[in-house]
A and B are shown apart, each in its own frame.
Chain A
Amino acid sequence: MKKANQALNGIKVVELAYAGVGPQITRELAEHGATVVRIESHRAPDPLRMMSPFKNFESGLNRSAFGACYNTQKYSISIDLNMTKGPAIAKQLVLWADVFLDGMTPGTTTKWGLDHESISAIKPDIIYAGTSQLGRTGPDSAFSGWGYLLMAMSGFTNITGRPERTPLNVVASYTDYIAPWYMVIALLGALDYRNRTGRGMVINQSQLESSLQFLSPALLDYNVNGRVMSRNANRHPYAAPHGVFPCRSSETSTEQWVAIAVFSDEEWQAFCRVIDKPGWIEDPKFAGVLGRKENEEELEELIAKWTEELPAEQIMSMMQNAGVAAGMVQSPEDLFNDPQVKHRNHFRPLEHQVIGRHSYNAPAYKLSKTPCDISKPGPCLGEDNEFVFKEILNMTDDDIEEFLVAGVITTEMDAPTAPSVF
């Protein structure tokens, strides 16, 4: 199933995780050639499998497109870790693996003997990666939250928005989308060390500490200068104009906006020519950044009068052709139809056996010699039991039958599936 010549061919990963962060980490490894086995159970399914959008609005463990997107190229097995023989199967996988990813609430894996100490005792060179909201130590380590809350804790919510209005969220569970990238980096660093020394290690991630990295300049500004960064809408302390401007409505959408940012004198001159206001180049009110910052509100109103008359796409290309940075505020529909995004083959449709044809997002980077492989859709729960038990763990049909009868290998839920969010 796997293509040869992928960067991470030969790396073996066991994933025990739920919700957004853990699965996304191993997904990125899998798409570059690692063999990833995801331990799941019908009795305690990953909440992402229960989140809409579902195929035809009907909930079901294998019907969520959102859940499927996190698991390209992985192998899903279904075992019940709460039954005596469940952890034994998991430990067999540990012996096979290079990396164990623990994305459960801190402490959860201890009861199964799948905590770092137990695992490194049977597999000393394992790389054990644990990710949680607030880290494994400290007074709030057991905090069980969601990206929506972490976005607020890490400071994003308070600095996003207009100064005269309420704080704002960035988008859904924003920190859940950036935290995985950090762990991929840490894991690859640990693999480099392991290749050289043969030694494993434990990696701990506090998703709060990862998310805070984006705010480092603001944290330094507070520590050094005592300044508390606050909401500033779309304005920038060293640039004007810097914001979004309303554009003419299109056929499909009544609201259209274009983002424009002007930093240098050269850009300012080009900008003035594009909007046909060459007089502004020399106008002392607007000529320098300081002047434009001082008269920013007036400037923004004047610019909006010009942008209102034209479609966003046209403004973008007029500005870009003159060397001014500008871009549409794109909706999901715009993104799917964006010629550049299409050219990069970013959204890739795959045929999922239950959901049907739906799109998976590709990484933001293209490796010339070892490109990503996005060909296996997110698996149904337990879809790869046979492959993993036979090919990786060398079980016989009789072994498998025995586990099935005992219920260690799970095949169905105890209760009907109900969506957690619709």
Chain B
Amino acid sequence: MDSEKALGDIRILDLAGPMGLYCTKLLADLGADVIKIEKPGGDPSRWMGPFFHDDPHPEKSLYWFNLNTNKRSITLNLETVDGRKIFKKLLKTADLLIETFPPGYLEKKGLGYSMMKEINPGLIMTSITPFGQTGPYKNYRAYDIVGVAMGGLMFFGGSPEDPPNQPGASQGYHAAGLSASEASLIALHHKDMTGEGQYIDVSMQESVANCLMWTMPFYDLRKAITTRDGRCVTSPRPFPRISMAWYDLFPCKDGWVVGHGVAGAFSGGLEAWDKLIDWMDSEDMAGDLVEDEWRVLAEQLGDAAYLHTLMVSDPEGFTNMVAKKDHIDRIIGNFLMTKTKLEIYDTVQPWRIPTTVIQTIKDVVKDPQLEARQFFVEVEHPELNATVTYPGMPYRLSETPAKIRRRAPLIGEHNQEIYESELGLSPTELAGFKAGGVI
């Protein structure tokens, strides 16, 4: 038991593929002892890119590095009788088992939850699958893109003139891993209190659906369907796009910025508007926006109550008015093209114009806020003669900080440590299992 780690008293067996590796990584970073069980030769996820120096090699996958920090690795062939026997020994020492096989697979191998519970009555088992363990789609397969499509997230991504667009960077897998991690910890808490284990059934589809918070009540109450309009926050039909001025993505001199309305509910109101127009006017780029008419309009466009009343009482007047946002945005847009993204951000933030830079990956790495908080951390990879800079932790716990204590394991790096020192296999037995393809 290690009181410096949040989960220092927890052991987890990791039989997960891409859909679940993130779940066990989160728990390992918090301090749990996670044993990654790989098939002899290494887990297939080791072949997923990107790779260190673009060299495809099972010990050089950055994808693997990221998802397996702090874990220990053993190799074990569960397809063999001896492999399953060793697995059962290991099972006795575990609090939690996490797996992502298709429903029924482990059952067929004689390793279903009911059987494992006989060996370890307090065991918690978390199964992560695309659609859950039961139901009409339980046997359906899904990679990330199918999960985000079936979970409803993809429907909103993209411009109206293009096909729906997948959000970048495996959102479905990550969402499933996060949900599973949460569920496992809830069950661990229950086990701490009562000694009782349980079975957890996680669905990637539902994990994704839980990222749709705003849009679902609209359908539920009004049968209104939010449309695909990736530039602005989408509004469910029959409502127009949010009409506040500068509520959109804008190109600028060296990239893109995004605004959340210059004179609306979330901003500094007319005072912010005046400062912006003064700035533009000082460079002769405010056009007719200096006129009072546009000032009044900007305020009205940011006033949801006013617009709501107008929409009901005078639909035509409402449509005409909302269309004027385009004129304001065109002039602001022309001005922003003459400025860099940081100039814009630094200038208008203090005026309470909610705006930010649409950061590239490079911008994120150089972000001064992240730098000041020392978010990125260096991790030694002695085998590569390299120190790699990793993104840091998602949260900061004062007494038991989550952190990367050790780089991801090499294939079977902890075979000896775990099989000999912990399970008590003799070197001869170990050699025999190796020769037999069990380890």
Residue B169 interfacial (CB < 8 Å): yes
Known: A158-B256, A242-B145. A189 touches B155 (CB 8 A): no
CB-contact partner of B217 in A65, A154, A218, A367, under 8 A = A65
Residue B382 interfacial (CB < 8 Å): no
Which residues from 353 to 390 on chain B have a C-beta closer than 8 Å to any C-beta of chain A?
354-365, 367-370, 372-373, 375-376, 388-390
Known: A209-B392, A213-B391, A339-B135. A332 touches B152 (CB 8 A): yes
Residue of A nearest to B26 (CB): A185
Residue B3 interfacial (CB < 8 Å): yes
Residues of A within 8 A of B305 (CB): 59, 418-419, 422
Interface residues of A, CB < 8 Å — how many? 156
Known: A152-B359, A209-B392, A217-B63. A169 touches B233 (CB 8 A): yes
Residue of B nearest to A64 (CB): B217
Residues of A within 8 A of B193 (CB): 10
Bound: A219/B363 CA distance, A: 10
**CB-based contact A259/B152 at 8 Å:** no
Residues of A within 8 A of B304 (CB): 418-422
**CB-based contact A183/B174 at 8 Å:** no
Residue B242 interfacial (CB < 8 Å): yes
Residue B35 interfacial (CB < 8 Å): no
Residue A110 interfacial (CB < 8 Å): no
Residues of B within 8 A of A254 (CB): none
Residue B78 interfacial (CB < 8 Å): no
Residues of A within 8 A of B97 (CB): none
Among A165, A230, A365, find the residue whose CB has the most chain B CB atoms closer than 10 A. Answer: A365
Bound: A208/B357 CA distance, A: 13
Among A144, A146, A368, A422, find the residue whose CB has the most chain B CB atoms closer than 10 A. Answer: A422
Residues of A within 8 A of B349 (CB): 143
**CB-based contact A144/B132 at 8 Å:** no
Bound: A230/B370 CA distance, A: 21
Residue of A nearest to B10 (CB): A192
**CB-based contact B183/A365 at 8 Å:** yes
**CB-based contact B190/A364 at 8 Å:** no
- The SS class assigned to the A binding surface is mixed
Return A326 CB to nearest CB of chain B, in Å.
Answer: 6
Residue of A nearest to B180 (CB): A365
Residues of A within 8 A of B411 (CB): none
Residue B219 interfacial (CB < 8 Å): yes
Known: A189-B6, A341-B209. A148 touches B233 (CB 8 A): yes
CB-contact partner of B135 in A145, A149, A344, under 8 A = A344
Residue A92 interfacial (CB < 8 Å): no
- Contact pattern, A 227-249, Cβ under 8 Å of B = 1, otherwise 0: 11111111011110011101000
Bound: A20/B369 CA distance, A: 22
Residues of B within 8 A of A156 (CB): 167-169
Residue of B nearest to A213 (CB): B394
Residues of A within 8 A of B211 (CB): 171, 174, 177-178
CB-contact partner of A148 in B147, B151, B183, B258, under 8 A = B258
- Contact pattern, A 89-115, Cβ under 8 Å of B = 1, otherwise 0: 000000000000000000000000000
**CB-based contact B239/A169 at 8 Å:** no
Which residues from 340 to 375 on chain A have a C-beta closer than 8 Å to any C-beta of chain B?
340-341, 343-344, 346-347, 355, 358-359, 361-370
**CB-based contact B30/A185 at 8 Å:** yes
Known: A340-B135, A363-B179. A261 touches B146 (CB 8 A): yes
Residues of A within 8 A of B398 (CB): 201-204
- Contact pattern, A 208-227, Cβ under 8 Å of B = 1, otherwise 0: 11101111111111111101
**CB-based contact B62/A224 at 8 Å:** yes
Known: A53-B221, A55-B221. A343 touches B135 (CB 8 A): yes
**CB-based contact A154/B359 at 8 Å:** yes
Known: A146-B354, A329-B155. A172 touches B394 (CB 8 A): no
Binds B, one of A77-85, A133-141, A273-281, A285-293: A133-141
Residues of A within 8 A of B260 (CB): 145-146, 148-149
Interface residues of B, CB < 8 Å — how many? 161
**CB-based contact B219/A336 at 8 Å:** yes
**CB-based contact A197/B3 at 8 Å:** yes
**CB-based contact A340/B205 at 8 Å:** yes
Residue B201 interfacial (CB < 8 Å): yes
**CB-based contact B182/A259 at 8 Å:** no
**CB-based contact B368/A367 at 8 Å:** no
CB-contact partner of A189 in B7, B126, B311, under 8 A = B7
Bound: A155/B308 CA distance, A: 34
**CB-based contact B65/A220 at 8 Å:** yes
Which residues from 315 to 369 on chain B have a C-beta closer than 8 Å to any C-beta of chain A?
349, 352, 354-365, 367-369
**CB-based contact A368/B373 at 8 Å:** no
Bound: A325/B102 CA distance, A: 13
Bound: A204/B397 CA distance, A: 7
**CB-based contact B258/A209 at 8 Å:** no
Return B214 CB to nearest CB of chain A, in Å.
Answer: 5
**CB-based contact A171/B153 at 8 Å:** yes
Residues of A within 8 A of B188 (CB): 188, 192
Residue B393 interfacial (CB < 8 Å): yes
Residue B156 interfacial (CB < 8 Å): yes
Return A107 CB to nearest CB of chain B, in Å.
Answer: 16
CB-contact partner of A320 in B9, B140, B266, B397, under 8 A = B140
**CB-based contact B220/A138 at 8 Å:** no
Known: A159-B168, A331-B225. A193 touches B3 (CB 8 A): yes
Please name the 5 residue pairs, one residue from A and one from B, whose CB atoms are nearest each other, closest first.
Answer: A168-B230, A189-B6, A159-B168, A343-B135, A365-B183
Subset of 8 A-B contacts with CB under 8 Å: A140-B368, A160-B168, A178-B175, A190-B6, A228-B361, A237-B49, A335-B212, A367-B186
Q: Supply 6 further A-B pairs (C-beta < 8 A) apart from A59-B308, A330-B152, A340-B138.
A: A219-B364, A223-B365, A327-B142, A329-B149, A329-B154, A343-B134
